[in-house]
Amino acid sequence: MLYKKSCLTLTILLLNSYDYSGYGCSSGKPSEQNTYADIEAAYRCLVESYRTQAEDIILYGQSVGSGPTLELAIRLPRLRAVVLHSPILSGLRVMYPVKRTYWFDIYKNIDKIPLVSCPVLVIHGTADNVVDCSHGKQLWELCKEKYEPLWIKGGNHCNLELYHEYISHLKKFFLSIEKTPAAKFGSAENSDLPDAPRTSSDCLEFPRSSTDEADKSRTSIDHVEKSRKSRDHNEKRRRSIDKKSKARKSIDRLDKARNSTDQSEKPRKSIDRLMRSVNLCNIDCFKHTSSKA
């Protein structure tokens, strides 16, 4: 539920309520993501069709509706206010008293409420047998901008509107929000409004002299020249190293070739010495002698 309110009076100019997908007369399938899309569509209707600003909107979420309400609230840093009626900490926490948030949980309000920058009013019945009152109290404790909560004694999940303190406290909240400037809420860095123009004192600069410009220009030219010389010097060194490397490789190849020749000569000379030592000058004799052996 979204309220559009006047900036000068308490009069409600527009009450924009809607059904979630799959609820009431709405078509579609009920799901967490669909409810987010539904409240986004309602917000777009106010902005585009009725030219409403975020700072003139109060979001109101009841029970499961507190999930989509907080999902939109954390995306609107200039939002005027939020009302949570019998809210839930998360979907899983309604059924089980878990101490941490799991990835498969839905409507993780406990993690989102600290990110809401506008005032938040929490209303909950102390005898709620669907969503325990502790849900509302814990959410209120986590609020960044707390407003005096309303714990309706004996109130159940679906009958809080029947209590006179419900209307009186809601009216008191609207009056309080009415008197508070909207600019107070929402940080400048997250604001969706354009930045304020700078004053002449902010823009004041002293003119620089022509000599300063000439010095900077000359310094820039010197820097470029030094860079070029450095690159040339590095290139010459690289070429010199390449030449030395090539010469060394050439010498190494010659040495290897000579060594290879020497190696091939060594066995032949060894055989010649052996043949001389036994006075065998004919190779055939050497072979014959070897065969007899």
Q: Looking at the annotation, which residues are catalytic?
A: 63, 128, 157
- CA pair distance 60, 199, nearest whole angstrom: 39
Rg (CA), the chain: 44
Residue at 103: amino acid letter = W
Please spell the DSSP secondary structure of 268-291, one letter per residue.
Answer: HHHHHHHHHHTT---HHHHHHHHH
Q: Which amino acid is at 292?
A: K
Contacts of 47 by beta carbon, 8 Å cutoff, 6+ apart: 53, 54
* Alpha carbons 50 and 48: distance in angstroms, whole number: 6
CA distance 116 to 72: 10
Residue type, position 283, single letter: I
